[in-house]
Amino acid sequence: MSMNDPIADMLTRIRNAGHAGHRRVDMPVSTLKIEIGRILTENNFIHGYKVLDDGRHGLLRVYLKYTDEERPVIRSLQRVSRPGLRRYVGADEVPKVRSGMGIAILSTSKGVMTDREARAGHIGGEILATVF
């Protein structure tokens, strides 16, 4: 199966698993997806992730996090930049998501980081996704 946007596929799998109440979700692994998983874990949106060997290319297993009322912690997970329309911002234009309650995930020359880290380091880049 040909996939044009693997990051959008990852975000959609996480969003759908949260709505269905699943505790984990599997997807094909890539270095960028691992970095997105690391950022989501560091910012307490998911419990964690594992890279599994399936005998082929590997799988990324993401463990979702829920509130005490069994609602997903991730309320919104949206792809911003996409293959048909890339969204780049300068260091002074890095957006705040929900007045700082959420995060924007950026791909920069210094690696994948959150909007807070990009503002602190005065770095711009491509906005991959927003999460709150």
Q: Domains of the chain: which residue ranges?
A: 6-64, 77-131
Q: What architecture does CATH give domain 77-131?
A: 2-Layer Sandwich (3.30)
Question: How sure is the predictor about 98, in pLDDT bands with cuts at 50, 70 and 90?
Answer: very high
Q: Give the separation between CA 97 and CA 24, rounded to whole angstroms.
A: 25
**What does pTM read for this prediction?**
0.95
CATH class, range 6-64: alpha beta
As given in the structure block, the two tokens for residue 8 are 């959008």
Q: Give the separation between CA 4 and CA 28, rounded to whole angstroms.
A: 14
Share of residues in the chain with pLDDT > 90 (%): 97
Residue 6 identity: P
